[in-house]
Amino acid sequence: MHIILEFIDLNIAYSPIVFFGLLILAGINIPISEDAIVIMGGILSSRKNEYTFLIFLGIFWGAYIGDIISFHIGKFLANKLLKQKKQTNKLIDKMNYYYKRYGSLTLLIGRFIPFGFRNAIFISAGMGNMRTSNFLIIDFFAAIISITTYFVLSFKIGESFKLIFPKIRIILFITLITITIIMLISYIIKKKRIQKVDKLFE
């Protein structure tokens, strides 16, 4: 565990770029969890406070640009579908109506929904012909709220972990010694029993 944490600490300077790149990939629907990256970023920041702002910026802009990519994928799909059947056109019309009425609220709530639903909402916003300027403004503020919330919470968890980690190491050490002693005693008892059985058959 200590070796892993040491390796992460040595390479933490690259994490803003790595997180940014991963979130861009998430925007093109590669199955990468935004929430996992935000939580990881918060915990890493708690270990090296001087990188906190850079890590946050890398995560925020990666997530926001990823959202915009998903939105434009939706617009592209809508244009393709409009050239097809009339039934598809009716579906697009329904989505247009829905996003005119509830688009802002959907984006705000959708920003807090994990497990791929978020991307589906952004794509459907693009398919629903939501105005690009509206999407950019609403999603910008929604992203600030959601990412800041998750980032701060995970940062606090990381700080707590720093405090309890030395205690965990002591507990693990005591547990390891206890298990070793129990195994040794079990081995001695088992060996004595075998010796007794051997004596009976001599």
Convert the pLDDT of each residue in 25-82 to its tens digit: 988 888 888 888 998 899 888 878 888 999 999 999 999 999 999 999 988 887 776 6
- Whether the per-residue pLDDT at 122 is higher than 90: the answer is no
Check pLDDT > 60 for residue 164: no
| Residue 106 neighbours by CB under 8 Å, 6+ apart | 98, 99, 121, 125
Residue pair 85/198 in contact by the 8 Å Cβ criterion: no
Q: Give the pLDDT confidence score for residue 68 in this predicted structure.
A: 95
- The distance of Cα 174 from the centroid of its chain, to the nearest Å, equals 33
Query: What pLDDT, on a 0 to 100 scale, did the predictor assign at position 126?
Result: 84
Mean pLDDT of 96-123: 76
Cα-Cα-Cα-Cα torsion 92, 96, 98, 99, nearest 10 degrees, comes to 130
Model's pTM, two decimal places?
0.71
* Burial (0-12, 13-18, 19+ Cβ within 10 Å), 121: buried
Q: Are the beta carbons of 7 and 50 closer than 8 angstroms?
A: no
